[in-house]
Structure 1
Amino acid sequence: MNFTLTDDQRAIEELAVSVFSDYCTDEQLCTFSDSGQTRMTSLWNTCIETGLHSLLIPESVGGSGLSMTEMMVVLEAQGQSLAMVPLYRHQLAAAAISQFGDESLLPIAITAAEGANVLTIANLDDALLSAQVEGGELTLSGRVNAVPEASDSQYVLVAIEIEAKKRLVAVDMNSDGIKRTDGTLTQGESVSDLVFEGVSLNQHQLLSESAESWLQPRLVAAQAAMLVGLCKQQIKRTVEYVSERRQFERQIGAFQAVQMVLADCQISLEALRSTLWQLVYRLDAGLPTEPEALSTAWQACEAGHFICHKTQHVHGGFGVDISSPTYLYLYWSRAICLALGGSSDNLERLGDWLADNNTLGWKYDLEEK
């Protein structure tokens, strides 16, 4: 097995690290956190200029047409820097629309690839909107909670129930009948509760039935990749801190208890990384991913909670000092874990899958060579 990245993938990774590091120093992160803004606009413009905003968008609509592997190295770099830009939702929404949408929806994906609009995705596991079909039109009613970036996005993908099936639909945020209540998550990301009161849409705005099963594991992979970068950087920052901080005339990093905690954090990180990359491999290879996605989501929730709480605890009072971004890593990890659904829910769903299936992973469902 060859786990090394190609030269092109390394170049993309180096570009992402360089771009994010220019906008996400400790001072810049604290200033942004205090500003009340919910998007790093200058950084987002730079992402558009460098093409980082369209890696996953197919070439047929103007994107780079790359795979999840390339996207993962960018998202890991984003997680390391805590860059507040809508990279993965924008690209996955555009890719889903271009692959599973009607031809009339392609201009949305083309504009997204140009960077002229922003797309977002509602929580696909939230309560489904009810939909009625009549004369080629859809009428949507219901409520969708905490839609990320909805206040600054032109289109949102939401899940609806139609003919007892779950489908995705691309909704123009300027449609009549949508009531929006804006808010901000603890780590600074904007969210909006959307209430649909008889919103009329063209039936062509429906994506095909396979769109949701395509999109869901990719959302898991994207969020887990950000968490890998975030946890990696937080461990690195903590090691640097305990190497300098002295107590009882010794570096606190010399205490065995501190060393064991950080060793456990590193083990947890590597377990998440290996689980994530198995999922990414299978996504790029076109293999089934349902249990792998659930395993990755569970592992991410477990690792994110464990690593970021333990490392902040090791920082002592400095871990809650808002003059340093250390506390933001905990906030971000909690936000990502909540978006993934939490440990218990994912473990229960994985258990349900295992109860009905007696195979799991590469050892059983792939040909041995």
Structure 2
Amino acid sequence: MDFTLDATRAEIAALTADVLARDPEHAWQALAKAGLLALALPEELGGDGLGPAEVAVVLTEAGRAGAQVPALAALALGVLPLNRMGSPEQRARWLPEIASGEVVVTAAPHEPSRPFAAEPSTEAVAVDGGWALTGTKTLVPSLAQARCVLVPATLPWGPGVFLVDPRAEGAEVHGTSLRLSGVRVGEADLLRDGSLADLRRFTLAGAVALGDGAVAGALALTTAHVRQREQFGRPLATFQAVAQQIADVYIASRTLHLAALSAVWRLDEGLDADEDLAIAAYWLAEEAPKALAVCHHLHGGLGVDITYPLHRHYGLVKELAALTGGASERLDRLGDLVEA
């Protein structure tokens, strides 16, 4: 199958790369101004009516640049699930503000030791015509910046997803963890179609797209370094051991790229994407951190210098591997699919 970007997606990739390169310090507002945060918004809300595939292109370029922007949270965990599961009122309330770059909306699919819990231990209890939420969420992307969090919880009839203000009374933010103690929300804060499976799919798709770019960016930095850096009067790239290690990183990068493209394509086409997402997420969690470790090794001390961008790629891959649930969790989920 040909996964070459079509003209629209190629233009999105080029524009994203250009915006991130021109103004790294104000990248988020620059992305918003260029319309890149509005790609998946419905046309009636000022967007382009595009989907996960175009969002994934933006995320991949953000990862390639090692950009320090809340793109994963706002786009994959905010715009996509809100657009799919939100009511017209919820979409109108939040999507334009996300697209403007003024607001970050994220999601909290994980609980302590329970990634992507199908039956959340976070409970929603009916109180005075609304709901009181109690529970703990972990590894919430961009939580410190978020104005709203999509919170899965168990209602009397099953799981649902609520829109929660992380600054509300009874909510406590500790790093990337959100603790809820009787946080009050209204009926209007319950998503119309709160599918935890859809939230998981968008989270994994966003993670593998961003991770694809992060590994590719680290590989580009490393190949440039070993071509320029000399040892014993020769470029490092001419040493056989170095060439073999670069080849290993290249294979890991290209495999993740193919797996991510396949998974996102299926999701975008409305096909069953679970198997492809599981494969891509496992490769991200298991192989991407190893590839970044090799990149660090080939850079020597330069790789851990905070003035050099490689540490951003490394940190991003580490966070994404955790967001997937980790390599063991992803391997277990692959096993479940094989048994099924």
Q: Do these two structures clear the TM 0.5 threshold for a shared fold by scoring above it? A: yes
Distance 2:94 2:217 in 1: 35
Q: What does the per-residue CA deviation read over 1:196-221, in whole Å, with 9 as the maximum and x for residues that have no partner?
A: 11111112311244532223222212
Distance 1:14 1:158 in 2: 34
- C-alpha RMSD over aligned residues: 2.0
Q: What does the per-residue CA deviation read over 1:172-193, in whole Å, with 9 as the maximum and x for residues that have no partner?
A: 2343221223x3xxxxxxx3x3
Per-residue deviation at 1:135?
A: 4.9
| Equivalent position of 1:203 in the other structure | 187
Per-residue deviation at 1:128?
A: 3.7
* Residue 200 of structure 2 corresponds to residue 216 of structure 1: yes
The one of 344, 353, 362 aligned to 2:337 = 353
Kindly tell me: are residues 253 and 94 of structure 1, through their superposed partners in 2, closer, same or farther at Cα, counting changes over 3 Å?
closer
The one of 71, 75, 94 aligned to 1:108 = 94
The one of 306, 313, 326 aligned to 2:310 = 326
| Equivalent position of 1:153 in the other structure | 146
Distance 2:316 2:64 in 1: 11
Q: What does the per-residue CA deviation read over 1:243-264, in whole Å, with 9 as the maximum and x for residues that have no partner?
A: 1222223222111111111111
| Equivalent position of 1:314 in the other structure | 298
| Equivalent position of 2:248 in the other structure | 264
Distance 2:140 2:4 in 1: 36
Per-residue deviation at 1:16?
A: 0.3
Kindly tell me: are residues 243 and 116 of structure 1, through their superposed partners in 2, closer, same or farther at Cα, counting changes over 3 Å?
closer
Kindly tell me: are residues 75 and 175 of structure 1, through their superposed partners in 2, closer, same or farther at Cα, counting changes over 3 Å?
same
* Residue 84 of structure 2 corresponds to residue 99 of structure 1: yes
Per-residue deviation at 1:298?
A: 0.2
* Residue 324 of structure 2 corresponds to residue 340 of structure 1: yes
* Residue 123 of structure 2 corresponds to residue 144 of structure 1: no
The one of 253, 259, 266 aligned to 1:282 = 266
Per-residue deviation at 1:50?
A: 0.8
Give 2:195's aligned amino acid: A
| Equivalent position of 2:12 in the other structure | 12
Give 1:207's aligned amino acid: L
Which blocks of at least 5 consecutive residues in structure 1 are unaligned?
25-39, 184-190, 357-369
| Equivalent position of 2:283 in the other structure | 299
The answer to whether the 8 Å contact 1:96/1:211 transfers is no
| Equivalent position of 1:45 in the other structure | 29
SS in 1 for 2:287: helix
SS in 2 for 1:154: strand
Distance 2:168 2:36 in 1: 29
| Equivalent position of 1:165 in the other structure | 158
| Equivalent position of 1:245 in the other structure | 229
The one of 107, 115, 128 aligned to 1:121 = 107
Distance 1:80 1:167 in 2: 34
Per-residue deviation at 1:112?
A: 2.8
Name whichever of 160-169 and 334-343 sits farther off: 160-169
Name whichever of 1-10 and 257-266 sits farther off: 1-10
| Equivalent position of 1:273 in the other structure | 257
The answer to whether the 8 Å contact 2:3/2:261 transfers is no
SS in 2 for 1:53: coil
Q: TM-score, normalised by structure 1?
A: 0.83
SS in 2 for 1:43: helix
The answer to whether the 8 Å contact 2:166/2:178 transfers is no
Per-residue deviation at 1:123?
A: 3.3
| Equivalent position of 2:113 in the other structure | none
SS in 2 for 1:180: strand
Kindly tell me: are residues 309 and 118 of structure 1, through their superposed partners in 2, closer, same or farther at Cα, counting changes over 3 Å?
same
Give 1:343's aligned amino acid: A
Give 1:309's aligned amino acid: A
Give 1:245's aligned amino acid: R
Aligned residues: 331
Name whichever of 305-314 and 157-166 sits farther off: 157-166
Q: What does the per-residue CA deviation read over 1:253-310, in whole Å, with 9 as the maximum and x for residues that have no partner?
A: 1111111111111111111111111111111111112222111110111231121001
* Residue 3 of structure 2 corresponds to residue 3 of structure 1: yes
Which blocks of at least 5 consecutive residues in structure 2 are unaligned?
111-115
Per-residue deviation at 1:96?
A: 2.3
The answer to whether the 8 Å contact 1:54/1:91 transfers is no
Give 1:112's aligned amino acid: I
Give 1:96's aligned amino acid: P
The answer to whether the 8 Å contact 2:166/2:172 transfers is no
Name whichever of 333-342 and 204-213 sits farther off: 204-213
The one of 35, 48, 54 aligned to 1:70 = 54
